[in-house]
Chains A and B, each alone.
Chain A
Amino acid sequence: MTADHRHGSDSPATRTEAIEALLVGKGLVKSAAVDALVERYEQDVGPLRGARVVAQAWTDPAFRARLLEDGMPAIRELGFGDNTDAHVARLVVKENTDSVHNLVVCTLCSCYPWAVLGLPPAWYKSPAYRSRAVREPRRLLAELGLDLSPDVEVRVWDSSAEVRYMVLPQRPEGTDGLGVEELTGLVTRDSMIGVERLQRTG
């Protein structure tokens, strides 16, 4: 059997139907479960979890210390860290400061902290991001609108094994009076990957 016979020339949608039928027929998968999981990815598991974790860290120094020490037990305190990404070894959270900026990538595939950020955005999976983030992160960030001073050290985390990385962004100025819920609303997905700095809006 050649590679072409296995993969055919049909549309991806038709090929997906065929592989689903095969996997269901072999008893490996139930279609109703697939429906439910798609719905769950679309509705429940998103970057809002990470935003909530960040807001907690900004307002609760003891939680922040536990989060930076070992991410997975800390996010479980907030009810996250279920089996969304069950094979993962550790969740490591890296804190941005005035002197250090962290950036997360996976050059070999597209490993991403599903447990806190959901599924990765298309740009994170793109060859352009995967190839350039490790070689020219400053130029890449500048193109994305984030100009870093030369004094700021850049740390790039290439997720090449089963450790997952999330960035703890800096809390924006002028947010002293805000509560956890309002702060959660300020945190963007891209700031937790490290390609954006947060500002207070509105």
Chain B
Amino acid sequence: MNGIHDMGGMHGFGAVDRRPDEALFPEAWQGRVCALAGYAMGAGLANIDAFRHAIERMPPDRYLSDGYYGRWLYALETLAAERLDGDAAVERPDQVGSVVREIDRGPRFAAGDAVRTWNRHPQGHTRLPAYARDRRGVIAEVHPACVYPDTNADGRGESPEYLYTVSFDSRELWGEEAEAATTVYIDLFEPYLEATE
């Protein structure tokens, strides 16, 4: 979905405030939310993709104001309300291990292949950042097939797909204002990619 979470390339957020020696959980509730989310997902409340999508579905102003663990809290409340009313339909707990899956076909692309990303604006969850949509890149590495987040996030199943690291020249992404000698590598699933010359 075209949401506030998709921040790559945005302007207006200012300087990075890198404070040394900050506490891991400045407030106690943050640590509890972190652990609660881990256990609740492990027990099948939601898979990682549904959890991320619950965060992305937050109102944009809340996404920005609630902070990192505040977003996790919001997502836990959303998922609990959606899934734990009455007879809970929780995920199979076996979905919580590694996302790597064996599939009965080989990868469509090999390292060095030229590809173009698709130009789609799905309303649901996806892991193609907007800044890399409809852009030309080169396959840098072929990874094993993994659970496909776009379908796994909303109950349409794992539908595993090969994962690739794709390299993009900074000029392809940012045009004339791109910084020189810079390459951005993004991990993208096979359906996002088409062959190009």
Chain A residues within 8 Å of B, Cβ to Cβ: 1, 3, 6-7, 12-13, 15-17, 19-20, 22-23, 26-30, 33-34, 37-38, 41-42, 86-90, 92, 107-110, 118-119, 121-123, 125-132, 134-140, 143-144, 150-163, 190, 195
Contacts and interface: CB of A to CB of B under 8 A. Distances in A.
B182 A13 contact: no
Given A108-B6, A127-B64, A122 B19 contact: yes
Nearest to B85: A1
16 contacts: A12-B29, A17-B29, A22-B84, A42-B25, A86-B97, A88-B99, A89-B146, A126-B13, A126-B16, A127-B10, A128-B15, A131-B7, A150-B180, A153-B182, A154-B181, A154-B182
B107 interface: no
Contacts of A20: 32, 36
B133 interface: no
Contact of A160 (B25, B55, B77, B127): B127
A151 B96 CA distance: 44
A150 B3 CA distance: 34
Interface of B: 5-11, 13-19, 22, 24-25, 27-36, 38-40, 43-45, 48, 52, 55, 59, 62, 64, 66, 68-70, 73-74, 76-78, 80-81, 84, 88, 90, 96-100, 127-129, 131, 143-144, 146, 149, 163, 165, 173-174, 179-189
A134 B184 contact: yes
Q: Classify the secondary structure of B's interface with A.
A: mixed
A41 B18 contact: no
A143 B180 CA distance: 17
Contacts of A87: 48, 96-99
